[in-house]
Amino acid sequence: EVFSNTYDPSPLQDICVVVLEPHNALFVNGKFCKNPSLTTVDDFFLSGFQVPRSTANPMDSNVTQVTVDLIPGLSISLARINYGIGGLNPPHIHPRGTEVLLVLEGTLYLGFVTSNQLNNTFFEKVIHPGDVFIFPIGMIHFQLNIGKTNAVAISSLSSQNPGVITVANALFNAKPHISPEVLAKGFQVDEKLVETLQKKFWSHN
């Protein structure tokens, strides 16, 4: 038997400040990088991240991701999550990164589900300002604001490109649509219910 594990490659230089134009650039870890000698302090800086984001959408939440498009010197990932009252960051997966969540305001009910290997064990917890919670790489997880006020959390992920798969969106808003017969049998529900779900506007993050 042969086993294989893959992760983001280790950096081959001190810094990689991403550039859109590859002229006179180095290709490192899947991105074109500015010549390190031309790097400035502003390549590592972003202002305005504390500004509240609108949660006026079906999930009553808003995820503001910080990517290399906003901070060219970024080598991990960061996100600010705003939750309205009852706001949900719906079940999703980061296929390439472990997530660390820090609650700044409000009360969140959250959890993750392990793979078949651990019998789909569900770990759940209610956390408060100052609490930190870890979502292991590749596990389905969510956060729900159960408090009486808006909530805010900061999320950091261990990859510069962790990816996100919002479960409901991926299954019911795939393009082209997954056959209703497949989803109906997979979820053991009627095909009409699947067709109804496919007609809904699933979009978050």
Same domain assignment for residues 66 and 157? yes
Same domain assignment for residues 108 and 132? yes
**Residue 199, SS3?**
helix
Residue 187's domain comprises 169-199
- Report pLDDT digits (tens) over 129-178: 999 999 999 999 999 999 999 999 999 998 877 889 999 999 999 989 99
Same domain assignment for residues 148 and 100? yes
Same domain assignment for residues 67 and 159? yes
Same domain assignment for residues 141 and 194? no
Same domain assignment for residues 86 and 118? yes
- Pairwise CA distance, residues 100 & 134, whole Å: 5
Q: Is residue 7 part of a domain?
A: no
Same domain assignment for residues 142 and 175? no
- Pairwise CA distance, residues 33 & 17, whole Å: 5
Per-residue confidence (pLDDT) for residue 205, from 0 to 100: 42
CATH code of residue 95: 2.60.120.10
Same domain assignment for residues 176 and 157? no
Higher pLDDT, 155 or 34: 155
Residues 107 and 126: beta-carbon distance below 8 Å? yes
- Report pLDDT digits (tens) over 110-126: 999 999 988 999 999 99
Domain total in the chain: 2
Q: Which distant-in-sequence residues (6+ apart) come within 8 Å of 172 by Cβ?
A: 183, 194, 197, 198, 200, 202
